Structure 1
Amino acid sequence: MVRETVPWPEHEVSTDDGPVLPARDGAVEEFRFFDTAVDAARGAGLLAALELVRADAALDFELIRGWQQHVLGTPELPLLRTHPGFAKGGAERYGIGPDTHTRLDTCLAQATDGRLSLAARAARAHLDVCFFHPFDDGNARAALLTLLFVLAREGVTLDSVLLIRRFSHRADDPQDALGLCGSVKFHLEQSRASVAQLDG
């Protein structure tokens, strides 16, 4: 699995560790202005899911299903897909097997691995959802919510998610994984700096 070949950045003890609560909530703004402009129900679903993301505790497929019900606006919890999935106009194919659910949960459980930096853990969980592609629709949104969940569990809110959301990252490319990690780190540092300015 490509995931195991990525040289994920390790955690470094720093005075910059700890909660980040900027004046501007980048995910909320993104969902209100970008997604609501695409479709009002889509924006409302993402905002409702984000509230759950920031209140939930343990990361696994069942938890993501609950968010995804809001994202897709379905009357019932969406199921794990049962057929191969495709993305990027068919350029990427995602298989399915009897152990897909278990393997996904195993990967998601590693989001608490304190040996890695917070940016690495958030990026890796995002790519886990992208790679496993568990739903028939809305996997990119599920991946973003998963990333935001990993940050929220550490008390971190980003003041922007543009670099994370606007650029595509392949789940099977170690350099793309590091690129996503770098984008998360950039937004995390920018958010910390904006809080420091307000406090200064």
Structure 2
Amino acid sequence: MTADALAAWCRVRNQIDWTSAVGETPAPVEATVDGLGNWCDAQGRSSNPARADRLLAALAQSRADASHKRPLTLALLAEWQRLVLGVPEVPFRQGDAFAKGGRERYARTPHTQRDFEHCLRDSADLRVPLASRAARVYLDVAFFHPFTDGNARLAMLTLAYVLELEGVRLNETGPLQTTRYADDAAGAADLAVLVSVLIRSTHHRTIRARH
């Protein structure tokens, strides 16, 4: 049987010093371009407009939720995921999940849902820099794979939500969309650095635009 990639991610997650992976970034940060909105619109606009519309609806809902400072919970993610997929219910997966053509397996144990909810609560730990919290929760969604479909889209919405709670929006999100592996500690830390770079880049562009 394929090795449990989720167990590998949990080990990697605990090995990384998220508090020092990146420095503090400016917040709030206004974007001159709605990078996430553009990304959502591009997700199937030419071939499947309904898919893009659903994702944009989920983005709008997530931003409304951020304006009310709703805690990041599994129930909140399920609300967005119902919009993403256009279905009435999205239960937490009941069995193992697979990705990358079956090369990564995310096992389901009696503790998987509880552990995932704990990880979501970690996103509010202000002792950890914002970019690290956003990157880490993105990978949590990707590797816990909580739902049967749409987890990559949900991971991006979740990353953006953590930023949105701090008043940060990005000019671009495309660079975040690269293949990630559960056992790659260096890659996970690099994602935090990339989020930090995108925050600073957006901030600098906004300052230049004002002058």
* TM-score band, normalised by shorter chain: over 0.9
- After the TM superposition, which parts of structure 1 deviate over 2 Å for at least 4 consecutive aligned residues? 9-13
* TM-score, length-scaled by structure 1: 0.92
2:91 is aligned with 1:82: no
Structure 1 residue identity aligned to 2:132: A
Please give the alpha-carbon distance, in whole angstroms, between the structure 2 residues aligned to 1:182 and 1:97.
32
1:11-90 alignment, distance < 5 Å: 12=23, 17-56=26-65, 57-74=70-87, 76-90=88-102
Q: State the SS of the aligned residue for 2:45.
A: helix
**Equivalent residue in structure 2 for 1:115, among 117, 127, 133:** 127
Stretch moving more, 76-85 or 27-36 = 27-36
From 13, 23, 26, give the equivalent of 1:3: 13
| Corresponding position of 1:189 | 200
Match of 2:106 in 1: 94
Cα separation, 2, equivalents of 1:98 and 1:38: 39
Equivalent residue for 2:140, pick from 114, 125, 128:
128
Structure 1 spans left out of the alignment, 5+ residues: none
Match of 1:174 in 2: 185
Q: Tell me, what secondary structure is at the counterpart of 1:93?
A: strand
TM-score for both structures, normalised by structure 2:
0.88
Aligned: 1:161 with 2:173: yes
Considering Cα pairs closer than 8 Å and 6+ residues apart, tell me whether 1 or 2 has the greater RCO.
Answer: 2
Report the alpha carbon displacement of residue 32 of structure 1 after superposing the two structures with TM.
1.5
CA contact (8 A) 2:141 2:155 kept: yes
Correspondences of 1:139-158 after superposition (within 5 Å):
139-158=151-170
Alignment partners' CA distance in 1, 2:47 and 2:207 = 34
C-alpha displacement of 1:12: 4.6
One-letter code aligned to 1:3: R
What secondary structure, in the 3-state scheme, does the structure 2 residue paired with 1:112 have? Answer: coil
| Cα offset, 1:133, TM superposition | 0.6
Q: 1:198 is matched by which residue type in structure 2?
A: A
Q: Could you tell me how far apart the structure 2 residues matched to 1:156 and 1:122 are?
A: 11
Q: How far off its partner does 1:38 sit? A: 4.2
Structure 2 runs not aligned, ≥5 long? 1-10
Q: Please give the alpha-carbon distance, in whole angstroms, between the structure 1 residues aligned to 2:31 and 2:75.
A: 30
